[in-house]
Amino acid sequence: MGYPEDMEKFRKLIDTSMKELINQQTLGPIAIELKNIIQRRTRLGSGVEQTGAPKTPLAELASSTKKGRARKKELGLLSDKTSPNKSNLTETGQMLNSLRGYARKKADAGTIDIQPTGDRNKKLAAIHTLGNPELPKRRFLDLSLQDIKQLTAVLQDKFSEILDRVFK
């Protein structure tokens, strides 16, 4: 086999590998891992102003919110993943627990979405993302630089696995 044939065979193997990397079966579990990364970071009290920026602490809670959370804790209504004074968008846990990660189909193949489910959770996420006169912005759905590094490691592992299988 000559050089042109070798290059054509190599190109086809790379194309096969790329198609496998961006298909729903491959990206579905990666989307779930990305959702887990966002949930973990947010529960630890960090957000991000825009994708690719460093993570930053979420805006501090108002004293009235802290008092309300303390009362909810006494009543057993505060999520076990937070405390009355911690700004981590986890008062009840419903919004962060509702996050779903999925790979888009067909026209947007190769794209991952992370979104809250349910109307209440979507509205709450929008309020936190945009803020309002009574509530500071607490952006959390963008990817921090650290999140991107974690995701890159996951993608590298998956792509290496695919390349090993396709090129054997």
DSSP labels for 48-115? -SSTTSPPEEPPPPPHHHHHHHHHHHHTT-S-TT--TT--SS-SSSHHHHT-EEEEPPGGGTT-EEEE
Q: Which two tokens stand for residue 36?
A: 């887990």
The model's pTM: 0.87
- Any idea what the Cα angle at residue 37 is, between residues 161 and 166, rounded to 5°? 10
Provide the pLDDT confidence category of residue 3 given band limits of 50, 70 and 90: confident
- State the residue for tokens 């949930």: 39
Residue % of the chain over a pLDDT of 90: 73
